[in-house]
Amino acid sequence: DQQVKQNSPSLSVQEGRISILNCDYTNSMFDYFLWYKKYPAEGPTFLISISSIKDKNEDGRFTVFLNKSAKHLSLHIVPSQPGDSAVYFCAPSYNFNKFYFGSGTKLNVKP
Amino acid sequence: EAGVTQSPTHLIKTRGQQATLRCSPISGHTSVYWYQQALGLGLQFLLWYDEGEERNRGNFPPRFSGRQFPNYSSELNVNALELEDSALYLCASSPDRGEYNSPLHFGNGTRLTVT
Protein backbone atom coordinates (compact mmCIF):
# COMPACT_ATOMS: atom_id res chain seq x y z
CA ASP A 1 0.00 0.00 0.00
CA GLN A 2 2.35 2.68 -1.29
CA GLN A 3 0.32 5.82 -0.77
CA VAL A 4 3.44 7.96 -0.45
CA LYS A 5 6.44 7.71 -2.72
CA GLN A 6 9.80 9.39 -2.62
CA ASN A 7 11.28 8.08 -5.83
CA SER A 8 14.80 9.38 -5.32
CA PRO A 9 16.57 7.33 -2.65
CA SER A 10 19.51 9.72 -2.68
CA LEU A 11 20.52 13.18 -3.83
CA SER A 12 23.94 14.82 -3.91
CA VAL A 13 24.26 18.60 -4.06
CA GLN A 14 27.12 21.06 -3.82
CA GLU A 15 27.17 23.40 -0.84
CA GLY A 16 25.44 26.68 -1.63
CA ARG A 17 23.27 25.23 -4.38
CA ILE A 18 19.60 24.34 -4.23
CA SER A 19 18.40 20.94 -3.03
CA ILE A 20 15.02 19.75 -4.30
CA LEU A 21 13.42 16.73 -2.70
CA ASN A 22 10.24 15.33 -4.19
CA CYS A 23 7.27 13.41 -2.85
CA ASP A 24 4.28 11.94 -4.69
CA TYR A 25 1.10 10.65 -3.14
CA THR A 26 -1.97 8.84 -4.36
CA ASN A 27 -4.58 9.48 -1.68
CA SER A 28 -6.56 12.61 -2.53
CA MET A 29 -7.82 12.73 1.06
CA PHE A 30 -4.46 13.91 2.35
CA ASP A 31 -4.87 17.46 3.58
CA TYR A 32 -1.75 18.17 5.59
CA PHE A 33 1.82 17.45 4.67
CA LEU A 34 4.88 17.36 6.91
CA TRP A 35 8.57 16.93 6.25
CA TYR A 36 10.89 15.33 8.78
CA LYS A 37 14.67 15.21 8.81
CA LYS A 38 16.63 12.30 10.23
CA TYR A 39 20.29 12.13 11.13
CA PRO A 40 22.00 8.75 11.65
CA ALA A 41 21.42 7.23 15.09
CA GLU A 42 18.70 9.78 15.85
CA GLY A 43 14.94 9.82 15.47
CA PRO A 44 13.29 12.00 12.81
CA THR A 45 12.65 15.63 13.71
CA PHE A 46 9.94 17.84 12.30
CA LEU A 47 11.14 20.32 9.69
CA ILE A 48 8.27 22.08 7.93
CA SER A 49 4.64 21.51 7.01
CA ILE A 50 1.97 22.73 4.62
CA SER A 51 -1.79 22.63 4.62
CA SER A 52 -3.70 21.67 1.50
CA ILE A 53 -5.26 25.14 1.39
CA LYS A 54 -1.84 26.55 0.53
CA ASP A 55 0.54 25.88 -2.30
CA LYS A 56 3.69 27.23 -0.67
CA ASN A 57 5.12 27.54 2.81
CA GLU A 58 8.48 29.08 3.60
CA ASP A 59 10.64 28.90 6.71
CA GLY A 60 14.08 30.37 6.34
CA ARG A 61 16.08 28.32 3.86
CA PHE A 62 13.32 25.73 3.59
CA THR A 63 10.30 26.03 1.28
CA VAL A 64 7.67 23.41 0.60
CA PHE A 65 5.56 23.53 -2.55
CA LEU A 66 2.30 21.64 -2.98
CA ASN A 67 0.66 20.79 -6.29
CA LYS A 68 -2.63 19.16 -5.37
CA SER A 69 -3.73 18.45 -8.93
CA ALA A 70 -0.54 16.51 -9.54
CA LYS A 71 -0.52 15.05 -6.02
CA HIS A 72 3.05 16.19 -5.69
CA LEU A 73 5.02 18.16 -3.17
CA SER A 74 8.60 19.23 -3.03
CA LEU A 75 11.00 20.56 -0.43
CA HIS A 76 13.50 23.19 -1.53
CA ILE A 77 16.59 23.99 0.52
CA VAL A 78 18.42 27.15 -0.49
CA PRO A 79 21.32 27.51 0.02
CA SER A 80 22.20 23.95 0.94
CA GLN A 81 24.67 23.47 3.76
CA PRO A 82 26.72 20.40 4.78
CA GLY A 83 24.70 20.21 8.00
CA ASP A 84 21.60 19.57 5.89
CA SER A 85 22.99 16.15 4.98
CA ALA A 86 20.37 13.76 6.35
CA VAL A 87 17.45 11.60 5.30
CA TYR A 88 14.27 13.54 4.57
CA PHE A 89 10.84 11.96 4.96
CA CYS A 90 7.61 13.20 3.52
CA ALA A 91 4.61 12.47 5.79
CA PRO A 92 1.12 13.37 4.54
CA SER A 93 -1.95 12.96 6.70
CA TYR A 94 -5.72 13.28 6.71
CA ASN A 95 -8.19 13.34 9.56
CA PHE A 96 -5.19 14.24 11.72
CA ASN A 97 -3.77 10.74 11.53
CA LYS A 98 -0.01 10.34 11.59
CA PHE A 99 0.39 7.01 9.90
CA TYR A 100 2.00 7.60 6.53
CA PHE A 101 5.63 8.19 5.71
CA GLY A 102 7.57 8.05 2.49
CA SER A 103 10.65 5.88 2.14
CA GLY A 104 12.94 8.87 2.51
CA THR A 105 15.57 10.63 0.41
CA LYS A 106 19.15 10.73 1.61
CA LEU A 107 20.61 14.16 0.93
CA ASN A 108 24.37 14.63 0.79
CA VAL A 109 25.59 18.21 0.64
CA LYS A 110 29.21 18.32 -0.43
CA PRO A 111 31.47 21.10 0.90
CA GLU B 1 12.14 19.32 28.56
CA ALA B 2 13.24 15.69 28.24
CA GLY B 3 12.57 14.18 24.85
CA VAL B 4 11.11 10.80 23.99
CA THR B 5 13.28 8.09 25.47
CA GLN B 6 13.52 4.53 24.26
CA SER B 7 15.19 1.48 25.77
CA PRO B 8 17.17 -0.51 25.10
CA THR B 9 19.22 1.15 22.39
CA HIS B 10 20.17 -2.19 20.91
CA LEU B 11 18.61 -5.61 21.32
CA ILE B 12 19.80 -8.91 19.93
CA LYS B 13 17.44 -11.86 19.94
CA THR B 14 17.22 -15.29 18.42
CA ARG B 15 14.49 -16.32 16.01
CA GLY B 16 11.43 -17.52 17.90
CA GLN B 17 12.14 -15.46 21.02
CA GLN B 18 10.17 -12.49 22.27
CA ALA B 19 11.35 -8.89 22.35
CA THR B 20 10.10 -6.07 24.56
CA LEU B 21 10.84 -2.47 23.69
CA ARG B 22 10.03 0.46 25.94
CA CYS B 23 9.18 4.10 25.35
CA SER B 24 8.64 7.12 27.59
CA PRO B 25 6.88 10.03 25.89
CA ILE B 26 7.51 13.70 26.46
CA SER B 27 5.87 14.85 29.67
CA GLY B 28 2.31 15.90 28.97
CA HIS B 29 2.03 13.89 25.76
CA THR B 30 -0.72 11.30 25.89
CA SER B 31 -0.40 9.71 22.46
CA VAL B 32 2.34 7.22 21.62
CA TYR B 33 3.07 5.87 18.16
CA TRP B 34 5.31 2.97 17.14
CA TYR B 35 7.00 2.68 13.75
CA GLN B 36 9.26 0.12 12.16
CA GLN B 37 12.06 1.13 9.82
CA ALA B 38 13.54 -1.89 8.12
CA LEU B 39 16.81 -1.48 6.24
CA GLY B 40 16.33 0.56 3.10
CA LEU B 41 12.65 1.17 3.77
CA GLY B 42 10.65 4.04 5.11
CA LEU B 43 8.81 4.27 8.39
CA GLN B 44 5.99 1.76 8.58
CA PHE B 45 3.24 2.58 11.07
CA LEU B 46 2.78 -0.14 13.70
CA LEU B 47 0.56 1.02 16.55
CA TRP B 48 -1.03 4.09 18.11
CA TYR B 49 -1.94 4.32 21.77
CA ASP B 50 -3.78 7.10 23.52
CA GLU B 51 -5.10 7.25 27.06
CA GLY B 52 -4.14 3.63 27.62
CA GLU B 53 -6.01 2.25 24.65
CA GLU B 54 -4.94 1.00 21.25
CA ARG B 55 -6.48 3.44 18.75
CA ASN B 56 -5.14 2.05 15.51
CA ARG B 57 -2.69 -0.45 14.16
CA GLY B 58 -0.86 -0.82 10.89
CA ASN B 59 -0.65 -3.80 8.59
CA PHE B 60 1.38 -6.03 10.89
CA PRO B 61 0.59 -9.52 12.22
CA PRO B 62 -0.90 -9.98 15.72
CA ARG B 63 2.45 -11.07 17.14
CA PHE B 64 3.23 -7.34 17.20
CA SER B 65 1.41 -5.98 20.22
CA GLY B 66 1.85 -3.48 22.95
CA ARG B 67 0.28 -1.49 25.68
CA GLN B 68 0.27 1.94 27.24
CA PHE B 69 0.57 2.41 30.95
CA PRO B 70 -1.25 4.95 33.18
CA ASN B 71 1.84 7.21 33.08
CA TYR B 72 1.56 7.14 29.25
CA SER B 73 4.76 5.17 28.76
CA SER B 74 4.44 2.31 26.34
CA GLU B 75 5.76 -1.13 25.58
CA LEU B 76 6.02 -2.87 22.23
CA ASN B 77 6.14 -6.65 22.28
CA VAL B 78 7.15 -8.78 19.34
CA ASN B 79 6.49 -12.49 19.78
CA ALA B 80 7.88 -15.41 17.80
CA LEU B 81 10.61 -13.26 16.30
CA GLU B 82 11.46 -13.73 12.65
CA LEU B 83 14.62 -12.68 10.84
CA GLU B 84 12.71 -10.00 8.92
CA ASP B 85 11.75 -8.33 12.19
CA SER B 86 15.28 -6.97 12.33
CA ALA B 87 14.79 -3.23 12.08
CA LEU B 88 14.94 0.10 13.86
CA TYR B 89 11.84 0.57 16.01
CA LEU B 90 10.92 4.17 16.58
CA CYS B 91 8.57 5.51 19.18
CA ALA B 92 6.99 8.93 18.87
CA SER B 93 4.71 10.99 21.05
CA SER B 94 2.24 13.73 20.32
CA PRO B 95 0.63 16.35 22.54
CA ASP B 96 -2.79 15.84 21.03
CA ARG B 97 -5.15 12.93 20.83
CA GLY B 98 -5.14 12.75 17.07
CA GLU B 99 -7.26 15.90 16.93
CA TYR B 100 -4.74 18.25 15.42
CA ASN B 101 -1.89 18.21 12.96
CA SER B 102 0.82 18.64 15.55
CA PRO B 103 4.06 16.96 14.48
CA LEU B 104 5.39 13.84 16.11
CA HIS B 105 8.35 13.89 18.48
CA PHE B 106 10.52 10.84 17.96
CA GLY B 107 12.91 8.95 20.18
CA ASN B 108 16.23 7.67 18.86
CA GLY B 109 14.91 4.17 18.40
CA THR B 110 15.74 0.62 19.41
CA ARG B 111 17.80 -1.38 16.94
CA LEU B 112 16.47 -4.95 17.04
CA THR B 113 18.58 -7.66 15.48
CA VAL B 114 17.17 -11.16 15.10
CA THR B 115 19.67 -13.94 14.44
Q: What would the pLDDT profile of B16-38 be if each residue is shown by its tens digit?
A: 999 999 999 999 999 999 999 99
Instruction: Tell me the residue type at B72.
Output: Y
B96 touching A (Cβ < 8 Å): yes
Please, are residues B82 and B15 in contact by the beta-carbon 8 Å criterion? Answer: yes
B101 and A96: CB-CB below 8 Å? yes
Side-chain-side CA neighbours of A48 within 13 Å: the count stands at 19
CA distances from residue B37 to A61, A71, B86 in whole angstroms, order as listed: 28, 25, 9
CB distance B4–A49 less than 8 Å?
A: no
How do residues B34-72 score in pLDDT, each as one tens digit?
999 998 788 999 999 999 999 999 999 999 999 999 999
Asked whether the CA dihedral A18, A24, A28, A29 is positive or negative, the reply is: negative
> In angstroms, what separates the C-alpha of A52 from chain B's closest C-alpha?
12
pLDDT surpassing 60 at residue A1: no
Q: What is the mean pLDDT of chain A?
A: 95
How much is the pLDDT for A96?
81
Looking at A44-48, B23-27, B46-50, B95-99, which range is the least confident one?
Answer: B95-99
